[in-house]
């Protein structure tokens, strides 16, 4: 697999080696050994999958410590714009984000470490999206930032009148009103804050 660094340390794009022939294609979607050699030590404990229609935006979500999650995400059907935003207090890139298009054709994956909020917009008629998480879901630790916050300058590539949000996602605060539970010295990979 090829690991592509982004403008924010710790957030990486992963391109698998795809083998194609007359039958179709094959690739390793995850190798614990290779991931740990090229990205970081990690133990994924939960896999999730969602299906969404065009215009759906899910996010920007995170889980607070001590249940913070790192995620490895991919789109197995359709296309999404995936976003990871730095929400670590004191970080030089606080409020900055990385966006990448994930599609069933490019087979790219996106790794979002702890200390980042995550969201995606569905660009195709429908999309099936998969997440690997290194912490179990804890409803009481859920948090979010409004995707409608114009100060973030995220181009979700969906006209505002076509955006579909859950009721919960309409209630997240703007970044200026957000009190992050993450410090700059949060361990990006082990969910353990060293503050």
Question: Nearest-CA neighbor of 71 among 40, 96, 33?
Answer: 40
pLDDT above 80 (res 188): no
- Output the pTM of the full model: 0.91
First to last CA, the chain: 34
> What are the backbone angles phi and psi of residue 169, rounded to the nearest 5°?
-75, -15
Coil vs helix vs strand at 160: helix
- Identify the active-site residue in 61, 107, 118, 172: 61
pLDDT grade, residue 190 (50/70/90)?
A: low
CB-based contact 163:55 (threshold 8 Å):
yes
The reply to whether omega before 60 is within 30° of 0 (cis) is yes
Residue range 43-183, CATH number: 2.60.120.10
> What are the backbone angles phi and psi of residue 60, rounded to the nearest 5°?
-85, 115
Average pLDDT of every residue of the chain? 93
Q: What is the pLDDT of residues 40-89, one digit of tens each?
A: 999 999 999 999 999 999 999 999 999 999 999 999 999 999 999 999 99
* Separation of alpha carbons 11 and 193, rounded Å: 18
Residue 61 is among the residues annotated as catalytic for this protein: yes
Q: What is the pLDDT of residue 20?
A: 86
- Identify the active-site residue in 107, 131, 172, 189: 131
Q: What is the pLDDT of residue 15?
A: 94
- DSSP for 18-81 reads -EEETTEEE--S--HHHHHHHT------EEEEEEEETTBEEEEEEE-TTS---EEEEEEESEEE
Q: What is the pLDDT of residues 7-22, one digit of tens each?
A: 999 999 999 888 988 9
pLDDT above 90 (res 187): no
Q: What is the pLDDT of residues 89-139, one digit of tens each?
A: 999 999 999 999 999 999 999 999 999 999 999 999 999 999 999 999 999
Q: What is the pLDDT of residue 25?
A: 85
Q: What is the pLDDT of residue 16?
A: 87
């Amino acid at each position: 697999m090829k690991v592509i660094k982004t403008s924010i340390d710790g957030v990486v794009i992963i391109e698998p080696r795809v083998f194609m022939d007359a039958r179709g294609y094959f690739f390793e979607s995850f190798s614990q050994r290779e991931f740990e050699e090229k990205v970081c030590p990690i133990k994924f404990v939960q896999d999730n999958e969602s299906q969404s229609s065009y215009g759906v935006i899910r996010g920007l979500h995170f889980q607070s410590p001590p249940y913070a999650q790192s995620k490895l995400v991919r789109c197995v059907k359709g296309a999404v714009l995936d976003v990871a935003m730095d929400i670590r207090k004191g970080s030089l890139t606080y409020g900055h984000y990385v966006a990448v298009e994930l599609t069933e054709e490019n087979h790219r994956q996106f790794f979002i470490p702890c200390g980042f909020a995550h969201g995606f917009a569905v660009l195709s008629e429908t999309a099936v999206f998969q997440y690997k998480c290194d912490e179990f879901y804890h409803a009481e630790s859920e948090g979010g930032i409004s995707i409608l916050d114009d100060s973030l300058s995220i181009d979700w590539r969906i006209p505002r009148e076509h955006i579909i949000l859950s009721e919960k996602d309409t209630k997240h605060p703007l970044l200026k009103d957000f009190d992050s539970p993450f410090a700059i010295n949060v361990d990006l990979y082990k969910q353990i804050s060293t503050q």
